Structure 1
Amino acid sequence: MKTSPPRHGLARVLSKRGLCSRTQAAQWISQGRVRVDGRVIRDPEFPITADGAQQIAIDGDEAGQAPARLYLMLNKPRGLVTTARDDRGRETVYRCFDGAQVDDGQGGGMPLPWVAPVGRLDKASEGLLLFCNDPAWAARITDPERGPTKTYHVQVDTQPGPELLLALEAGVDCEGECLRARQARVLRLGERNAWLEIVLDEGRNRQIRRLLAAFDIAVLRLVRVAVGPLELGGLAKGQWRLLSSGEVDALRA
């Protein structure tokens, strides 16, 4: 018996093709900007076959071909939220891409295509934040079991001893979650505070802040400096760069 190809919602299909976020796709669809086989569709869950047989157009332009895959890293400044649009009117990380262009493959430039954050950093955190328009790659990076480690430099309001470092690695129960560091060590000590290097092998919400708070320790600064083998390096605050193919593959491995 011949089986029909699987179907997915229209908004999901546009997102999976790297054309926009699912939220943006749903907005475009509700605004009547998307046609399927020449017909305007206003239902984000309108079923689309996975074999690509149906013709999809956005504002009259065919959207059947996904844009070239892009992978980049941003040195996120403190004070920006990791979202495309904030209901409270706060500035987002996309401010850093205003006017951004990439090589069009013909010696010229073209506007940076839509890219989504891979994971997130909260408003008060800084450092390495990945973006891409490849949902499968992003899922691999954020996978809690197979994804790469994340390394942070954390300024705290105390001078931790060896016992605290061991306790951070042993972990604590916090509201039913086990929060722990894969590795914790002192980078340098000040008169009243210290910088720690904390490595995580999973990505729970505000994990480092909650873990340290369990020991009555406040975070003064939190900077992500590496994701797996990819280091932030000398990338200036608020600047971004494309990843090389080798870096993309290393993070996937």
Structure 2
Amino acid sequence: MTEDVEDESKGERIAKRIARAGICSRRDAERLIQLGKVTLNGKVLDTPAVLVTDADRIVVDGQLVGEPERTRVWRYHKPAGLVTTHRDPQGRPTVFEKLPDGLPRVMSVGRLDLSSEGLLLLTNDGELARKLELPAAGWVRRYRVRVHGEVPPETLVGLEKGITIEGVKYGPIKAQLDRQQGSNAWLTLSLKEGKNREVRRVMDHLGWPVSRLIRVAYGPFQLGSLEEGAVEEVPAKVVKEQLGDRESGWAKADTTERARPPAPKKKPARPERPTDKPTGKAGPHADRRRRS
């Protein structure tokens, strides 16, 4: 099957179909095709420039690709000391080795490096994972960061304009000093790009080495009180509310940080007048005396 990939009314790109079925990401699917590990209707593919329909039989590395299941999303509290990959050449423990039994094949939305911890989103839909981790999606990543050094709050203001380090341009970062404890400080950082080791590189450049980094939010999803190492599925209703669905192209959740509106002003209480609520027993001529 070698139809024009631009005319998607005739089908769906094969790498996209493989990703939606939860086999791997679209990029990995394209790589597997180039390695000759994908067959379509019994023939080995040598190009991802192919459209497929429900009638086609796709096999990836010996595994038959079935119909995509409903999209599911999980929140996972990643501990420090795990790499976010399915297989590590150095033999280090991975996130996917430590997940509890019973989960389907999942992939992560973006990554957290070895020594970072906190919220990692998991999904069985590779196409969704790709959409949500792109900077164009506008998803805000929020981190609690402990650094070594004294942090002047005014230095953080300049990060909102972005910063360039050794030729690498990093986008705007909203940074807030939460507290200074002796020679250490806790910060809250919010950013949208999430380049490789971005927070650590920016903090190191400013002279504040990072000693702990915890991701507490990814878009509208929060780490909350999820225990370290725990996995919790996001209810299907919430997924649909926040993401839309495949047919709508995965609607982007509104993650703009807004200032809280001012609290409504309370009306001043009406002063109590003694004559409104007389105390004690009134005599038979009390009303006449008040009117006179």
When the two structures are superposed, what TM-score results if normalisation uses the length of structure 1? 0.79
Q: Please give the alpha-carbon distance, in whole angstroms, between the structure 1 residues aligned to 2:126 and 2:53.
A: 18
Q: Which amino acid aligns with 2:234?
A: L
Bigger CA radius of gyration = 2
Q: What is the deviation of 1:235?
A: 0.6
What stretches of structure 1 move > 4 A for 4+ residues in a row? 6-9, 21-32, 41-44, 57-62
Please list every run of 5 or more consecutive structure 1 residues that lacks an aligned counterpart in the other structure: 102-111
Aligned to 1:243, which of 230, 234, 248? Answer: 234
- Where is the strand percentage greater, Structure 1 or Structure 2? 1
Please give the secondary structure, in 1, of the residue aligned with 2:201. Answer: helix
1:171-199, Cα deviation, whole Å (9 max, x unpaired): 32113232254311112221210110001
1:22-47, Cα deviation, whole Å (9 max, x unpaired): 64897799797x7643x3x5546476
Over aligned residues, Cα RMSD in angstroms?
Answer: 3.1
Please list every run of 5 or more consecutive structure 2 residues that lacks an aligned counterpart in the other structure: 244-251, 254-292
Structure 2 counterpart of 1:76: 78
Question: 1:156–1:221: 8 Å Cα contact kept in structure 2?
Answer: yes
Structure 2 counterpart of 1:65: 67
Q: Please give the alpha-carbon distance, in whole angstroms, between the structure 1 residues aligned to 2:195 and 2:61.
A: 39
Q: Please give the alpha-carbon distance, in whole angstroms, between the structure 2 residues aligned to 1:59 and 1:143.
A: 27
1:15-54 to 2 correspondences below 5 Å? 15-21=19-25, 23=28, 36-37=40-41, 39=42, 41-43=43-45, 45=47, 48-54=50-56
User: Percent identity of the aligned residues?
Assistant: 35
Q: Which amino acid aligns with 2:209?
A: A
Equivalent residues, number: 237
Highest RCO, 1 vs 2 (Cα 8 Å, sep ≥ 6): 1
Q: Which amino acid aligns with 1:228?
A: G
Q: What is the deviation of 1:229?
A: 2.3
Q: Please give the alpha-carbon distance, in whole angstroms, between the structure 1 residues aligned to 2:63 and 2:199.
A: 45
When the two structures are superposed, what TM-score results if normalisation uses the length of structure 2? 0.70
Q: CA, structure 1 residues 13+167, in 2 after alignment: closer, same or farther (shift >3 Å)? A: same
Question: 1:140–1:147: 8 Å Cα contact kept in structure 2?
Answer: no
